Structure formats: structure tokens, C-alpha cells
Amino acid sequence: MKITVVYDNNAGRGLKTGWGFSCLIDNGKKILFDCGDSGEKLIFNMKKLGMDPKDIGSVLLSHEHWDHIGGLLQFLEMNDRVTVYVPKSFSTGIKEKIGLKAGMKEVDSGEEISENVYTTGQLGGPGTVKEQSVALKTSKGYFIITGCAHPGLKAIIEKSRSLGKIYGIMGGFHDFSDFGILKGMELVAPCHCTQNAREIKRLFPGSYREIKSGSVIEL
């Protein structure tokens, strides 16, 4: 299984940067997780990375904030055959816009959405941003991808542990500081909105991985 970061606050050579996150999961089928805040930058980076938007079969949106869904509608202008998985808590207006352009499925509880690709379901208590993350089943254990981890990284990890051993985690960790729960993971790759990335790198130098647009993780 291969993960390619398409969009991040930091960018590799020749790629565009912006406040947001997106990555392509390739398990034989291609799944886009989040869409950054700009469709123009998202499509530019995809083409630079040799990706054809028309090859993507599914899009998963972690949560409704613009830095994760802003590029979606422009992407759908190029590929309206995808199924877009959104947390059930998405606003009616956004769901209607998506439904006019593509197939859409609302996500509440955890489920397998493709072979070895699982959504945690929407997590988050009353008054918090509801968000879904992805857990990828590999021979080494499960690898988690988060959007911003608004429900708390601990809750996301605990939910994913119901599937099995956690191998690693990547994505936006927001203001996460309960660093002990990362102990034992073989790959820790914070990016996007993570406020304490330097401290995570200091504490876990052997498993820490720097991430930017163009980064590739093979699982």
C-alpha cells in the first residue's frame, strides 16, 4: 500500500503549498483523503505527481473545515464518478452541493470502505468538531491517517486499536501533547496543523518522519 501526500503546509520541490492537507491512498484502488483548501493547488500538485484525477474512485473528507474540503468542488469538475464519504454531521448545504456533483455516502460508525481501508466513523463529543480518520491494514499493523485530530488523538488511536495493533500514524495532530500514547509506534509523521512537531521529533527520533507535499510512505 502506498500513501502520497498531495497537499500540505510544506511542499516539495516544484509543488505548491497551502494551509491544508490531502493525500492519495493506493491499495490497488485510489482513494483521496481530504482535498486541501484550494482546488487549483490540489489539481496542480496531482498533475506534478503524475496523478490523474479521473483514476480516483473514492474521496474521504475528514471534517468540514475549509482547509480539508476547499479543493473538493474543483476536483469534482474533473471527476464526478467518485463516491464522497462525509461524516454524517456535515452541514446540509455542503452535503447538497456534493450530492449534485457526485455520489455521496454519510459516515456515522466505523466500517471498511475498501480492501484494508477502514474509516473510524465520525468521532467527537457534543460541542466538538466531528471528524473521521482512516486506518489502513498492513502486514505491520494498522496505520492511521488523521485530518486535524479535533476529537483528540487519543480517541482516534483507541478507536483504531479496536481493529488491531497500531503500526504508525500520520496527519494533523493539532495541539496534541499526550506524547506517551505514541510510544511503541514504528512510524510517527505529524504534519499540517501539528503544533508540537518539534517536541514529537525530539521524543521519538527513531520513528519520526518529516512530511510535506510529495512525501511517499510505502506500507
Helix (H) or strand (E) holding 184: none
Q: What is the mean pLDDT of residues 99-109?
A: 96
More confident residue, 201 or 125: 201
Domain 2-218 belongs in CATH node 3.30.300.30: no
Q: What is the model's pLDDT at position 127?
A: 87
pLDDT digits (tens, 9 = 90+) for 32-56: 999 999 999 999 999 999 999 999 9
What integer is the mean pLDDT of 1-7? 98
Sign, CA dihedral 193-76-49-142, equals: positive
Q: Which residues pair with 145 in a beta bridge?
A: 134, 170
- How confident is the model at residue 12, as a pLDDT? 94
Phi, psi of 190 (to 5 degrees): -75, 150
| Contact yes or no for 87/122 (Cβ under 8 A) | yes
Residue pair 81/164 in contact by the 8 Å Cβ criterion: no
The rounded mean pLDDT for the chain is: 97
Q: Kindly list the domain boundaries of the chain, sorted by start residue.
A: 2-218
Stretch 10-28: mean pLDDT: 96
